[in-house]
Amino acid sequence: MSQAHRCGVVALLGRPNAGKSTLLNALVGEKIAIATAFAQTTRGRLLGVVSRDNAQLLIYDTPGVHRGQARFNLAMTETALSVAHDADIRLILFDAGATWDEPEARLAALRGPKILLRTKIDGGPATPIPKGAFDGPVMELSAKTGVGLDALFAAIIAELPESPALYDADTLTDAPLRFLAAEGIREVAFERLRDEVPYSLAVEVETWDESESELLIHANLLLERESQKGIVVGSRGQMLKGIGMEARKRLSELVHKTVHLKLWVKLDKNWTKRPNRARELGYL
């Protein structure tokens, strides 16, 4: 008898910078989620689809669960918990070098199948988990080296319900290419700007004009405060120029064609305090 096909939702959960986006990319086998050294890079749910002969995994990257009390921070945590509630299995990522704290305790209390993943195991010895803090299986992995990924796939598939595939086998995500491009620009900006700017920066694609061989993108780098503009533009425009050059290169690799990218820096005052605006930008 042939093995029954399984399909279900997998939630990647954890505090900011636990490695969720890096793991999503490793599981999918392609870079669809931006990943930087900055905490809170991920601002909403992002679906990655992994299709195998006997299973299809619908994997959601989520914002980090944290203690921030600002409206935008609370909304990001709520997004993560909403995905967790609807998932068939919850993967709770816990940096091997981190100390168990309120975010882990909150996620460990979730009902339903869950696995605790000790991530970044190639970074040194793992700190201990408090006795009785987690009642499910614990696994170790390194998304960068691939150690532990095969065992994780097997553990996930074992928990998924029997179901036919919901997406075509060649689908990697349901996110629009326009959104992935905006995220790619934001990733470069995060990597190049000072610590205080990235958290207040958003990217909005204003124009998308595509032909068979070329793509023209006009995008806005949105900032909450006027004082941040000078930092993003840089002396004689060098910072903005550098962001544009690197983003153009990465976007060309994403769409497999020549990209012409034009960036503007604009003020969108207090956008993080306006949930409707954050949703318009594709976050939350």
What is 6-159's CATH topology? Answer: Rossmann fold (3.40.50)
Question: If pLDDT is split at 50, 70 and 90, which confidence band does 222 have?
Answer: very high
Which residues make Cβ contacts (< 8 Å) with residue 165, sequence separation at least 6?
Answer: 5, 7, 51, 56
In this predicted structure, the answer to whether residue 158 has a pLDDT above a threshold of 90 is yes
Q: Are 89 and 77 in contact (CB under 8 A)?
A: no
Return the structure tokens found at 272.
Answer: 């993080």
pLDDT tens digit sequence for 55-85:
999 999 999 998 777 888 889 999 999 999 9
Q: How many whole angstroms separate alpha carbon 217 and alpha carbon 176?
A: 14
Q: Give the CB-side neighbour count of residue 95, counting CA atoms within 13 A.
A: 15
Question: If pLDDT is split at 50, 70 and 90, which confidence band does 2 have?
Answer: low
In this predicted structure, the answer to whether residue 40 has a pLDDT above a threshold of 80 is no
DSSP character at residue 273: G
Percentage of the chain modeled with pLDDT above 90: 83
In this predicted structure, the answer to whether residue 14 has a pLDDT above a threshold of 90 is yes
Only one residue has tokens 């900032």, namely 223
Q: How many whole angstroms separate alpha carbon 23 and alpha carbon 25?
A: 5
How far is residue 109 CA from its own chain's centroid? 23
Q: 51 vs 64, 86, 164, 192, CA distance in Å?
A: 26, 20, 11, 35
- H-type alpha helices, 29-148: 71-86, 102-108
Closest CA to 266 of 230, 240, 229: 229
CA dihedral 165, 171, 173, 179 (to 10 degrees): -150
What is the CA angle 92-145-54, rounded to 5? 65
* Architecture of the domain spanning 177-280: 2-Layer Sandwich (3.30)
Tell me what pLDDT residue 62 has: 96
Q: How many whole angstroms separate alpha carbon 228 and alpha carbon 230?
A: 6
Q: How many whole angstroms separate alpha carbon 138 and alpha carbon 122?
A: 16
Question: If pLDDT is split at 50, 70 and 90, which confidence band does 3 have?
Answer: confident
Only one residue has tokens 């780098």, namely 221
State the pairing for strand pair 46-51/55-61.
Answer: antiparallel
Question: pTM score, two decimals?
Answer: 0.93
Tell me what pLDDT residue 55 has: 98
117-126, 128-137, 245-254 — which is least confidently predicted? 117-126
Where does CATH 3.40.50.300 sit in the chain?
Answer: 6-159
Tell me what pLDDT residue 68 has: 72
Where does CATH 3.30.300.20 sit in the chain?
Answer: 177-280
Q: How many whole angstroms separate alpha carbon 141 and alpha carbon 103?
A: 20
